[in-house]
Amino acid sequence: MHNPLALLTTQLLERLCASGFQYFVRQSFPRGMDHVQTDIIEAFLITPYKDFSQVNAHFQAIKFDKRKHVYQVDLVGEKEKLTIAAGQPPGFKVFVSLLSTKKWVPPLDLYPKIKHYLRNHASWKPERGKGVNAGLFIQFGELYISIKYNHEEIKVPLDEIEKL
């Protein structure tokens, strides 16, 4: 599984808080499990928000996740818990819903899968080397690929593309 997201650090957490993010949604993040590093017990994804209505929408989208939690930095002890998570405690990996690089480039193994998806799910007939662009975005902790051609766009969960 491709994981382009950054690890949460204490410095990044401080910058997010200083920028006005006061709510943080935690959820399970199986994509963050490192299959090489066998001492990882669990991986989490933290998504920062400024607006509580967005927190509610996110929380509803993950309502069946038993590990979901909302941290409010102005409540006693909550920022300390986030700081511990940002320190990457042993056995855990804690990611933030931000890309680890400035610009996302699909890994080479995704190109044929994206082409396969387009052949089977879109009526597009792009000329070789012309105009199909793929980008990545995150919505409620799930990664999506946005595929654009001319004035059309398809948004597909990354999991769906990876299964091909």
User: What pLDDT is recorded for position 103?
Assistant: 82
Mean pLDDT across 154-164: 93
Structural domain for 38, as ranges: 5-99
Between CA 102 and CA 114 the distance in angstroms is: 22
Picking from 6-10, 69-73, 119-123, which range would have the lowest pLDDT averaged per residue?
Answer: 119-123
91 with 11, same domain? yes
115 with 158, same domain? yes
115 with 95, same domain? no
- Per cent of the chain over pLDDT 70 is 97
Burial class (CB in 10 A: 0-12, 13-18, 19+), 128: exposed
Q: How confident is the model at residue 123 (pLDDT cuts 50, 70, 90)?
A: confident
Does a structural domain hold residue 30?
Answer: yes
- Look at residue 129 and tell me whether its pLDDT is greater than 70: no
Task: Give whole-number Cα distances, 62 to 14, 66, 139, in Å.
Answer: 26, 9, 11
User: What pLDDT is recorded for position 43?
Assistant: 96
Does a structural domain hold residue 125?
Answer: yes
- Look at residue 17 and tell me whether its pLDDT is greater than 90: yes
Between CA 114 and CA 41 the distance in angstroms is: 32
Between CA 79 and CA 73 the distance in angstroms is: 5
User: What pLDDT is recorded for position 31?
Assistant: 92
Output the pTM of the full model: 0.88
